[in-house]
Structure 1
Amino acid sequence: MLPGNLNGCGCGLACLQAEKVFGELRYLDPRYMEGMEIYSTTLWHLQRDVALSALAQELTEMDLNSPQAWCVAGNCYSLQREHDVAIKFFKRAVQVDPTFAYAYTLLGHELVLTEELDKALPCFRNAVRINPRHYNAWYGLGLIYFKQEKCVLAEVHFRKALGINPQNSVLLCHVGVVQHAQKKTEAALETFTKAIELDPKNPLCKFHRASVLFSIEKYKAALEELDELKEIVPKESLVYFLIGKVYKKLGLTHLALMNFSWAMDLDPKGVNNQIKEAIDKRYLPDEEEFAGEMDIESETFEEATMTDGEDVQLHAAESDESL
């Protein structure tokens, strides 16, 4: 589970539709518990903190012996980044019902967020032991192996999840990431293309494909992808940063400087990008490199505006039209 525009579930419209259906269900039967843990995850991805908090309070007051109620409470505190409390509540859900696979999965993902991978691993294994078709747990196992740089194992588990849920663009995207990590570049591009066909508005898939295109020096194709992505997530600093890198490679210095400047305005320290938690650092800079590059480009930008201000303004106007 990863929040934000680019590294969340990537469900977009599906999440909104699910929220609507669950909301109608709650209206018809406020005491209905089945599926409320999934509803809470939907609210988590959509960052509906008020609605999630209200749901958690209602369900825990209704039935403290329900694993769904504790899962909802755990998701509520997870959204507030109170991970220790969230872990405590997910563990309580497991205690209430040791056969509730989703509780193990939520606990595993929360432990991944706190980088406790060794503790998360058995959680996901318990989930698939209870329910072998619980694709979220297979995805969790793949995520751990990817973080451990065991890319072959990661791909195996991502594909296991994909076999259960073949229409999930996020799972396809993760397969593409591990393929690229194994230097299967053409296969990765094909996988990202399939993922985008399933969900044309999935920003994470488009960003990964643009990043791979940039890494193999297909700069114009990368730029086309990034221009489309900019329309979907106009406030993601690394999108502008990568656009700047592309323009720099193409020798269009002023356009590069303008995009570096926009990226720096969106995130001056280069550390608060939601996207950074989801990207493969093999083809994008780490935190320090990003901030350092931004400082260098900022200085160059200031020099350029002093020596060739009219040209910079012209390109700025052209770029504004494309936003």
Structure 2
Amino acid sequence: MRILPCLAAALLGAALILPKLPQAAAADDPSWQTCVGATTAPGDRVASCTTVIDGKTETGRRLAGAYCNRGHGLTEKRELDAALADLNEAIKLDPAFACAYTNRGRVYAFKQDLDHAIADYDEAIRIDPAFAMAYNNRGDAWLNKGDLDRALADLSLAIKYNPQLSVAYGNRGFVYYRKHDAAHAIADFTAEIRLEPNVLAYINRGNVYRDAEQLDRAAADYGEVTKIAPSDARGWRNRGLVRLFQGDNKGGLADYDKALQYDPADVNSWNNRGQAKLRLGDKKGAAADFRKALELQPDLKTAKAGLARLGEVR
């Protein structure tokens, strides 16, 4: 699942949406613009918001916004205690700042303190009952607490209030997947891909197709991952597995070669490439791959069984 702050960009959230801030001369200040910019990198956001805060030129919601956005940048850098301090200050300065509660809830979620996270999302929604990101993030928290029905309800509200919030479709699709509702999961991942094609959406939809034994469609989705992120091992190894399921051992072997090029620590890729080599008659290569898999995971039964078939005892 993906949890968003009030800044909406990517995977674990990242796109600052400040509430309507009052106009001021500082609106033209480069540090302010960088502090509140939706595409500012986390390190630059922290630096520029610090300049705004230290300059002591802002008050009220604008100053709260600078603390909130610096807290966002620190969260992206996973400096969670510092982020929490900034978001506490933003809320102290402006207790009706829904965005700050949502961003603080996100910090608590990263700290695995889901009860405090939900309490902050509750407060953000109380202040702004149509705050789609707060519903998305609370849905993530409910999922992580194992309450799929509450997660589904919140993610549906996120989509109701912002039908263009692609991450909410992806998160709801994952909940449907957990509920074994393949049709709705596929529909939501398809909606996410239509709004914002990304690696995780294609992998998730591919996983649903794979589990539903729609292997050609699964392979196609994993193939999209290899196109948009060719150095991401997940696309190669997932498609490699599907190709082995389809009996395409040469294709599977080629995909696992790529997967191991980009992620040589993945034990399953070593094991599965060994299986492909074994099926193709490369006994020496298969044995080497099984041994490598067992170096990484000594109790891997499939690798042990593969070596046993080759006459080796491990």
- TM beyond 0.5: yes
Greater CA drift, 108-117 or 190-199? 190-199
Post-superposition Cα deviations, 1:5-42, rounded to whole Å, max 9, x if no partner, equal 97344x9xxx7xx9xxxxxx9997117969955x36x4
**What is the CA distance between 1:293 and its match in structure 2?**
1.5
Greater CA drift, 291-300 or 211-220? 291-300
Report the counterpart of residue 29 of structure 1 in structure 2: 28
- Do the aligned partners of 1:60 and 1:73 also contact (CA within 8 Å) in 2? no
**What is the CA distance between 1:171 and its match in structure 2?**
1.2
Alignment of 1:139-288 (within 5 A): 139-199=136-196, 201-269=197-265
Structure number, greater radius of gyration:
2
**What is the CA distance between 1:265 and its match in structure 2?**
2.6
Secondary structure (helix, strand or coil) at the match of 2:170 reads helix
> Cα RMSD over matched residues?
3.2
Q: Distance in 2 between matches of 1:219 and 1:6?
A: 28
**What is the CA distance between 1:81 and its match in structure 2?**
1.7
Is 1:121 paired with 2:93?
A: no
CA separation of 1:256 and 1:163: change in aligned 2, threshold 3 A: same
Report the counterpart of residue 54 of structure 1 in structure 2: 47
Is 1:112 paired with 2:109?
A: yes
Report the counterpart of residue 99 of structure 1 in structure 2: 96
Post-superposition Cα deviations, 1:82-104, rounded to whole Å, max 9, x if no partner, equal 11111121111111111111001
Count of residue pairs the alignment pairs up: 268
Report the counterpart of residue 74 of structure 1 in structure 2: 71
Report the counterpart of residue 281 of structure 1 in structure 2: none
Q: Distance in 1 between matches of 2:25 and 2:263?
A: 39
Q: Aligned AA for 2:11?
A: N
Q: Distance in 2 between matches of 1:235 and 1:7?
A: 17
Q: Aligned AA for 1:127?
A: A
- Do the aligned partners of 2:43 and 2:77 also contact (CA within 8 Å) in 1? no
Could you tell me the percent identity over the aligned residues? 23
- Alignment equivalent of 2:268, drawn from 290, 293, 312: 293
- Do the aligned partners of 2:31 and 2:49 also contact (CA within 8 Å) in 1? no
**What is the CA distance between 1:183 and its match in structure 2?**
1.3
CA separation of 1:79 and 1:167: change in aligned 2, threshold 3 A: closer
**What is the CA distance between 1:202 and its match in structure 2?**
3.1
**What is the CA distance between 1:212 and its match in structure 2?**
0.5
Q: Distance in 2 between matches of 1:35 and 1:164?
A: 28
Question: Structure 1 regions of 5+ residues with no counterpart?
Answer: 19-24, 270-290, 310-323
Secondary structure (helix, strand or coil) at the match of 1:7 reads coil
Q: Aligned AA for 2:52?
A: L
- Do the aligned partners of 1:206 and 1:226 also contact (CA within 8 Å) in 2? yes
CA separation of 1:251 and 1:155: change in aligned 2, threshold 3 A: same
Q: Aligned AA for 1:30?
A: D
Post-superposition Cα deviations, 1:280-314, rounded to whole Å, max 9, x if no partner, equal xxxxxxxxxxx4313323555677695699xxxxx
CA separation of 1:152 and 1:211: change in aligned 2, threshold 3 A: same
**What is the CA distance between 1:158 and its match in structure 2?**
0.4
